[in-house]
Amino acid sequence: MTDVRDLLARVSTTAPNGRPIYDAATGELIAHAPVEGVDALDAAVARARAAQAAWEALGHDRRIECLLNAADALDSRAEELARLLSREQGKPLNGPNARFELGACSAWLRTNASLVLEPEVLVDDGETHAELTYRAAGVVGAIGPWNWPLMIAIWQVAPALRMGNTVVLKPSGNTPLSVLAMVDVLNEALPPDVLVAVSGGRDVGARLASHPEVDKVMFTGSTATGRRIIESSAGNLARLTLELGGNDAGIVLPGTDAKAIADDLFWGAFINTGQTCAALKRLYVHDSVYEDVVDALAEVALRTPMGNGLDENNVLGPLQNKQQFDIVNRLVEDAKSRGARIVTGGSPATELGELFYPVTLVADIEDGAALVDEEQFGPALPIIRYADVDDAIASANRLDVGLGGSVWANNREEARVVASRIEAGTVWINSHGGVHPLIPFGGVKGSGYGLEFGIEGLKAVAVPRVING
């Protein structure tokens, strides 16, 4: 069987025809990714459209078999793909990172294969029998991000294929190689043209969102880009699932045991070095436990190794790209200028590499600071002191985002009362950011709309049909 070196040879191109992709930790050239244009995208959509009817006609059992075979193929190449992902994206092999991401891809494929969307009897009164059923939407356009490029691609691909759709997938220009390699592996188990990847720039993404032969668009990324996709899709009325930016708030209630929650708090904020849409990005801590929480988080930060992801000892890596590095650096510098207290980190870790920024805990900062109000998407966490729980809830809800939130407390019932008042698609209790393939996930406000995962995720990539009579 081929390995990733062979896969890279099949999915990469030669200079100067492609885009150079560099190791995020070392800056070394990995390979050149293809840069395809709108014509290639149009051809991919035509292929997917031609293949869709036969794929749907295979029926549920045969599609389930194909998805399970695809998961087996992915498992057989998981280590090689994880190493490529680690280099391209920057995340370490160990911890909740590259190997974890490949495991999640397999889990989502297998879980979606096991799901059954049964017809729902709406009325059966002796005179009328009405059932709600679902059929494939058609061709799904999937546009993925660079932070979890493989896992989020599978979040889009797995339910779409399960329901009988074909998929045209556009990976991020920052992390195309690992996605193209994964698609190549998956296609060993799938019929031709059921899943087609096109590596290109913004023009390709815009065309995919507006293409008249695309029936459904799934996008994970920034709110600004999501708004443009909504505008682009207006002409063809494509159905949309948008998982957009977030600035998730966590609230630590009075009397909470700081040491008991410190590790979960830390990873809620700093999984993937903070580059996660539903990471904890601003933390409100009651005055009674404020310094205890700050100290406990600092202890975890100081014992958590950061460095090259291929080093088995590291669990934190670099920022994936210079643009994101500059955003984190700017926000921390602004916090310093406001007199905020830098507890750990606070300046680039140039000794590790150009894109490394250490875990930075910023205390004694308030709402209105850029680090609090803007999504940092990196390893810097503002910790805001509060005295009244109502004020903390108001602060958590004041921004036009609502992907996730969390409440931390010794008493879970008290936490649930507060959680019910937070404006977010998901609110976690004593954890943050964990997702499950059977639990629906999606945002509110500027964080997008539409649900993924589980039965609701299948419905999102299908078209409802009522049979009445």
Which of these, 374, 388, 341, lies nearest to 360 by C-alpha position? 341
Contact status, residue 195 vs residue 157, Cβ threshold 8 Å? yes
Q: What tokens appear for 4 in the block?
A: 């990733």
Other Cβ atoms closer than 10 A to 249: 30
User: 196 - beta bridge partners?
Assistant: 168
Active-site residue, selected from the candidate residues 36, 88, 101, 243: 243
Active-site residue, selected from the candidate residues 277, 375, 423, 452: 277
Show Cβ contacts of residue 96 under 8 Å, excluding neighbours closer than 6 positions.
Answer: 267, 271, 272, 315
Give the whole-angstrom CA distance, residue 107 versus residue 89: 21
Other Cβ atoms closer than 10 A to 326: 11
Give the whole-angstrom CA distance, residue 33 versus residue 11: 7
- Helix, strand, or coil here: 261? helix
Strands across the sheet with 239-243, in order?
195-197, 166-170, 139-143, 216-220, 239-243, 448-449
DSSP assigned state of 423:
-
Other Cβ atoms closer than 10 A to 374: 16
Asked if 277 is an active-site residue, the reply is: yes
Asked if 299 is an active-site residue, the reply is: no
Give the H or E element holding residue 30. strand 29-33
Give the whole-angstrom CA distance, residue 385 versus residue 421: 19
Sign of CA dihedral 253, 257, 261, 266: positive
Amino acid at residue number 234: A
Q: Give the active site residues.
A: 243, 277
